[in-house]
Structure 1
Amino acid sequence: MQLKTQGLIIKEQTVGESDRLVTILTRDEGVVRAFARRAKNLKDSKNAGTGLLCYSRLKLSRGRDTYNVNEAFPIEVFFDLRRDITALALAQYFCQLAVELVPEGVESADFLRLVLNALHFLCRGTRPQAVLKAIVELRMLSEAGYMPSIAYCAHCGAYESERMYFKVNRGEIYCKSCYLDNGDPCAPLSPAALTAMRHIVFSDFEKIFSFDLSSGARQELAAAAEAYTMQILQHRPKTLDFYYSLL
């Protein structure tokens, strides 16, 4: 089976002296693993197109357990990420989320588009990293089937109150009147933070990066998004710890 697609290299491993085993977030088949022979050879055409964080035009063939990379032509290499180790670390966290959340064998253009857009903003440095991180976390979880229930208070149906409370283990919000502190992990949300959270989850893709927040609301959004992500993953990725070690 031959597959022509576009994809982002989200993980790479050297095999032997000159081969690579890569994990690719593809446009058409979700996350796939592929073997790229001689890709570490500088003279091989696959060298540039199978490096980590390279977005490439690919021709793959299906093997027994993995795909094989027959051709790889780079479209975007995100070179500027190498100039900022903090941005590079956050990009690697985004890749780890894709590895864990994007299924195999499904149309996955929206997942790919989300990560590519986030990487472009990271390169430019025009959006706060905490906001980009929350956008990728919440939207990727939503696309993967873990959309939080944040339209209304889970108990009374209220759309807003002076403060809402996001119960992380339930993925639900409660208004100030209905919230009961029973020890469940909870993230308090101001109206601005909740509006941003709803925007990320419910807006058309073209609009999800288009909002601004005060520093306080930004911190609330970031805390809620990260807590919910850890709840769904049920572990804390090493790439996230590395990112925080650089701040």
Structure 2
Amino acid sequence: MQIDTDGLVIMERQVGESDRLITVLTREEGVLRAFARRAKLLRSSKLSATQLLCYSRFLIYKGRDKYIIDDAQPVEVFFDLRRDIGSLSLAQYFCELAGALAPQEAGAGDFLRLLLRAFFYLSKATRPHLLIKAAVEMRMLSLAGYMPDLVCCAGCACYEAETMLFLPRSGTLYCNSCYSQITEPALPLSTGALTALRHTVYADFDKLFAFRLPQAGLWQVARASEAYVLSTLGRSFPTLDFYHQAEPGAMAAVGNPPQDS
């Protein structure tokens, strides 16, 4: 059986001297792992198409217990991602997150579209890294079935208060008054930060990355989204740790927010 599909290489590993074992996020088949024979040879047509972060068109043979890439042609190599260590490390984190959350042997078009749009903005440097990171984290978790309930306070159902608190462990919101009866750790959100966090979950995809916040509010949103990832999945990611090393001033899961000037 042959599969003709487009996909994004989210992981690669060298096998022997010339072969690659790659993990591809495909539109029709979700996440799959496939061998690309002789892909490391300079004359191979698969050389660039099977490298990490490359979006390609694949012709894949599906055997009984493995996938073999018969042909691969690059569509977009996202070369500009490699010009900035912060953009590159964030893209690699998104790949690792997709590998953990996207389905296997099922359609994953929304996951693929999300990563391609994020890579575009990272490459063009037209959006702050924290904005892109929060949007990808929250939307990817929602696509995977972990959508938080950000509609209103889980206690009194109020839509908005001067300060609302987000509970990463349960994915719920509480106002100050109702939270006084709760022991679960929470993160405060200003009105603007709450609106932005809701946007990352509920907005139409074409508008997903179209919001603005002052740095302090953006920090609150990014902190909440990362805490939700780590709490929901119960694990960290090596690529996320590397991103924080690459951009130590950006944010951390704990710490004090920056002050707006």
TM-score bucket (shorter structure): over 0.9
TM-score (norm 1): 0.98
Rounded Cα–Cα distance in structure 2 between residues aligned with 1:3 and 1:204: 30
Would you say 1:188 and 2:184 are equivalent positions? no
What does residue 112 of structure 2 align with? 112
> Which whole-Å deviations, capped at 9, do the CAs of 1:5-31 have from their partners, x for residues lacking one?
100000000001100000001111111
Structure 1: gaps of 5 or more residues: none
Q: Secondary structure of the equivalent of 2:150? A: strand
Report the AA paired with residue 49 of structure 1: A
SS in 2 for 1:49: coil
Does the 8 A contact of 2:168 with 2:232 survive in 1? no
Post-superposition offset of 1:126: 1.1
Identity of aligned residues (%): 53
Partner of 2:2: 2
Query: For the structure 1 residues 19 and 143, does the alpha-carbon distance in structure 2 shift closer, same or farther, using more than 3 Å as the test?
Result: same
Aligned residue type for 1:130: L
- Structure 2 CA distance for partners of 1:148 and 1:23, relative to 1, 3 Å: same
Q: Separation in 1 of the partners of 2:183 and 2:65?
A: 45
What residue ranges of structure 2 are gaps of 5+ in the alignment? 248-261
Contact 1:28 1:108 in 2 (8 A): yes
CA offset digits 1:31-63 (Å, max 9, x no partner): 111111000111111111100000001111112
Instruction: Please name the residue that 2:250 is paired with.
Output: none
> Matches of 2:233 and 2:246 in 1, distance apart?
23
Which runs of structure 2 are paired with 1:1-247 in the superposition (5 Å)? 1-180=1-180, 182-247=182-247
How many positions carry a matched residue from both structures? 247
Write the deviation string for residues 178-211 of structure 1: whole angstroms up to 9, x where unpaired: 1136542211111111111111101111110111
- 8 A Cα contact 1:94 1:136, kept in partner: yes
- Deviation for aligned residue 1:105: 1.4
CA–CA separation in structure 2 for the residues paired with 1:185 and 1:42: 53
- Taking the aligned partners of 1:85 and 1:219, their CA distance within structure 2 comes to 20
TM-score by length of 2: 0.92
User: 2:91 aligns to what SS in structure 1?
Assistant: helix
